[in-house]
Amino acid sequence: MGKFADLGHDLYEGRVSYDFVGRRRLWYVVSLVIVVLALGGLLGRGLNMGLEFRGGTEFTISTEGTQDNADRFGEIAENSGVDVGQVSATTSGVDKVLVQTQPLSQSDADVVEEAFVEAGASEVSQQSIGATWGAQILDRALLALCVFLVLVVLFIWAYFREWKMSVSALVALAHDVIITVGVYAIVGFEVTPASVTGLLTILGYSLYDTVVVFDKVRENTRAFTTHTRSTYAELSNLAVNQTLVRSINTSVTALLPVAALLFVGVVIVGTGPLKDLALSLFVGMAAGAYSSIFIATPLAVQLKERDAPVQAQAQRVRARREHERAKGTATGPEAGGDGVAAGSTGGVPGGSSPSGAGAPGSGPAGKPAAPVVPSGASATGSKPARRPATRSTRSSAGRIQPQRRPRSQRGKGQR
């Protein structure tokens, strides 16, 4: 952890830097591949809508919760003599099996329940759910999503005064939603109200991480037009590096408990809202952490670089660097000195100074001159000798002028 903390400090100070903004094309390609795979799973397999959305009858059977029992009771429902449609049989914990069918009338449901009891089920309960209830949940979820997106645009525009950041944040949110929904389609998990709840939750998490990075970008680029050493893109990349360790720590801290919930829901419980909620949270948080670093900020910088002030500032930075590069070439060894400008007589360790009559530190014919001893100091390097008191001073013309003694000392010492 000490090395990781040192890395975070170096990233914040700029001693270590990863070029997230400059390599944005690579991140775009990676995200495009992931999004295409997610859309392929969504269009190819489709979503496995839960009973709450498609409607139907659910039987809860008290028996040993094994997959063999689930398959057996699913076959019993199909062979009960009732048109049950497509049957879904799963385990629920260690002592229950869930069997879901298409909507059944009360008489048909009683026939299927009787078949389960005859097959050895100790207790059977049934529940009929209409598709209208699930449709209402879906409509309200879509309404909440639209309201949320509108508020996101208004908030980011009002806080950062930059519509380009609003667009980047929306692209990152769409990126996270598509990946999460695509994973649901690929793994075949049921879409339940818990899944919708988790999906709406990850939108807030993804936005929070993106806003933190954007806030650091705004802090670094507040007066970027006065900078002549770093461009807007470089200052933004520094902001991403400065928040990188914080983003990693926050994401790992949030993903670990969600991963534990997902494990419990899939391995121990087997079915239910816990598994559906945990999957949407886990995938959405991971995608949100990725998009806030690799998608949102690089895209915002790309849009910002089209502005004239940003282009003018970048041109000034490039001009300064070219000037410094040319100056460094002119003062190099090939220009007449080891790191010393041509014609300079300043002392540089390891450098050569010109010899001759006017060269400091050299005597006649290039011989070393005697060391210059400061006034009042001995040549042996000991403490400076105390200057004796003088009774005369020199005038501006160089003539010695007598110094008047105090009145109390006049006439003394002259005998």
The pLDDT tens digits of the residues spanning 312-324 come to 999 999 999 888 8
Please classify residue 138 by burial: count the beta carbons closer than 10 Å to its beta carbon, then call 0-12 exposed, 13-18 middle and 19+ buried: middle
Residue with tokens 């001759």: 356
Per residue in 10-36, is it b (16+ CB within 10 Å) or e — as a string? ebbeeeebeebbeebeebeeebeebee
How far apart CA 392 and CA 400 sit, in angstroms, is 6
pLDDT at 400: 55
How far apart CA 369 and CA 380 sit, in angstroms, is 16
Q: What is the pLDDT of residues 326-383, one digit of tens each?
A: 887 654 433 333 333 333 333 333 333 333 334 444 444 444 444 444 444 444 444 4
pLDDT at 21: 92
Half-sphere exposure for 400 (CA within 13 Å, toward CB): 4
CATH 1.20.1640.10, applies to 2-49+133-314: yes
Q: What is the pLDDT of residues 226-280, one digit of tens each?
A: 888 889 999 999 999 988 888 888 889 989 999 998 888 887 776 677 888 888 8
Q: What is the pLDDT of residues 176-209, one digit of tens each?
A: 999 999 998 998 888 888 888 888 888 888 888 8
Fold agreement (2-49+133-314, 56-129):
no
| In contact, 47 and 181? CB cutoff 8 Å | yes
Q: What is the pLDDT of residues 45-103, one digit of tens each?
A: 888 888 878 888 888 888 887 888 888 888 988 888 888 888 888 877 778 888 888 88
CATH 3.10.310.30, applies to 56-129: no
Per residue in 78-114, is it b (16+ CB within 10 Å) or e — as a string? bebebebeebbbbbbeeebbbbbbebbeeebbeebbe
The residue ranking higher by pLDDT, 54 or 32, is 32
Q: What is the pLDDT of residues 143-180, one digit of tens each?
A: 888 888 888 888 888 887 788 888 898 899 999 999 99
How far apart CA 180 and CA 189 sit, in angstroms, is 11
pLDDT at 361: 42
Domain ranges of the chain: 2-49+133-314, 56-129
- Check: pTM over 0.85? Answer yes or no: no
